[in-house]
Amino acid sequence: MGDDGGDEECALRVVQGGWFWIDVEGVTESEMSGLSKIFSIHPLTAEDVLSEDAETREKCEIYVNYYFIVMRTFDPDEYSLNYLQPVNMEIIVGRDWILSFHRRPLSHPKNVVRRMEQLKIYGMQINPDWINYALVDDVVDSFAPVVRGVEFEVESIDDLVLILTESEQTDMLRRIGHARKKLSLLLRLLSGKSDVLRTLVKRARDRFAHPEVSLYLGDIQDHVLTSMQNLDHHEKTLARSHSNYLAQISIEITQSSNKTNDVVMKMTALASILVPLNIVTGLWGMNVSCSYN
């Protein structure tokens, strides 16, 4: 669970409480084979844990002695090339044990350990089902800052798209494109979580989960649905802003074309007066010698 003193102390208390949590980063085939024999893990579950992130969808499966969850998180570093790219976390929850797997360093296990340390003063009963809830809750909470940032960007675009002048609109289309891409990635990451939580609440409650944990999972599901509804609303707002931006550009092009046509018409009218005069003066002003008989 970690190398620092706080994590080791927490692991010791878990063992004394009669259950334990093993967090594995970058599990190998030999390690997964050993864990499968110890905890009677089904080969299909082991295959999903060992597969690449893009190959396994978010899901919740119920087996005889455990339930298996695949929850998708993301790289939160805005300066990383993998920003908002999906990263799977697999969680296997038994009656008195829980295993979590991930291929990249993630902050969620450490955040859950820190949360356990904070709750110890309240004497709260912690079990594998609660650890599973805390991991899922931390994954969902990690989306909140990104969703708020996207909402702020969309509101700014919607306010500015109709008031900026032509010279100030050069990067507006780029901002709209970046915001729509981020919205699309967030919707992709959140879309499967509602079904996973619904299945977990309905099917795992009767077999493993503590009733209060089921209530907490239902609350997480509400947060996911609310976030998806907000993102869907902002996607429609961006589509409207994009249409308004294109309409604004079209109006400016039409106005510029009308100004050009007015100038051409005035020049044509002036030319229709000056050209005949130029012809007449040109004819009478020609240096032609005349002979008289």
Q: Are 165 and 64 in a shared domain?
A: no
Q: Are 8 and 112 in a shared domain?
A: yes
Inter-CA distances, 193 with 17, 125, 217, 225, 287, Å: 31, 26, 11, 9, 94
pLDDT band at 36 (very low <50, low <70, confident <90, very high): very high
Q: Are 58 and 155 in a shared domain?
A: no
**Mean pLDDT of all residues in 52-56:** 70
155 lies in some domain: yes
Domain limit, last residue, from 126, 161, 178:
126
Domain limit, last residue, from 126, 156, 183:
126
pLDDT of residue 205: 60
3 lies in some domain: yes
Q: Are 121 and 162 in a shared domain?
A: no
Query: 8-24 pLDDT, tens per residue?
Result: 334 333 444 578 899 99
pLDDT of residue 1: 42
CATH number at residue 15: 3.30.460.20
286 lies in some domain: no
pLDDT of residue 288: 57
Domain limit, last residue, from 84, 99, 126:
126
135 lies in some domain: no
Q: Are 150 and 121 in a shared domain?
A: no
278 lies in some domain: no
266 lies in some domain: no
pLDDT band at 191 (very low <50, low <70, confident <90, very high): confident
Query: 276-288 pLDDT, tens per residue?
Result: 777 777 766 666 5
Domain that holds residue 109: 1-126
CA neighbor of 230 nearest in space, from 134, 288, 121, 143:
143
pLDDT mean across residues, the chain: 80
% residues pLDDT > 90 (the chain):
17
Query: 206-258 pLDDT, tens per residue?
Result: 655 566 777 788 888 888 988 888 889 888 888 888 777 777 777 777 777 77
**Mean pLDDT of all residues in 182-209:** 79
CA neighbor of 10 nearest in space, from 99, 131, 100:
131
Q: Are 20 and 92 in a shared domain?
A: yes
Residue 73 pLDDT exceeds 50? yes
215 lies in some domain: yes
Q: Are 157 and 61 in a shared domain?
A: no
- Into how many domains does the chain fold? 2
Q: Are 38 and 153 in a shared domain?
A: no
288 lies in some domain: no
Predicted TM-score (pTM) of the model is: 0.76
Q: Are 3 and 115 in a shared domain?
A: yes
Q: Are 6 and 110 in a shared domain?
A: yes
Query: 135-162 pLDDT, tens per residue?
Result: 999 999 999 888 898 889 888 888 887 7
